[in-house]
Amino acid sequence: MNHTIKQWLKAAGIRAAKTTAQTALSLVTVGQAFLDVNWFHLCSVSAMAGIVSILTSLAGLPELNTKPTEREDI
């Protein structure tokens, strides 16, 4: 597999995992009992957020900016 594709998959996967976790955390209300959480709703909304994150990553990932950096010789 091409090195660039591996980099993209890793970066997009990390971004999607973070987005999914952040969405799940935002759906849990402070002080809510464990059994009172609508786990199906939480999982489905979080999964959709992860899918949207992957699709958004198709437009580009700033983490993979491969432009050469300017270097100053001292």
pLDDT above 60 (res 69): no
- Distance, in Å, from the CA atom of 28 to the CA atom of 38, rounded to the nearest integer, reads 9
pTM of the full structure:
0.76
**Tokens read off for 2:** 């091409």
Q: What is the mean pLDDT of residues 61-74?
A: 64
Contacts of 8 (CB under 8 A, 6+ apart): 57, 61, 64
Contact 45, 23 (CB under 8 A): yes
**Residue range 5-41, pLDDT digits in tens:** 899 999 999 999 999 999 999 988 777 888 888 999 9
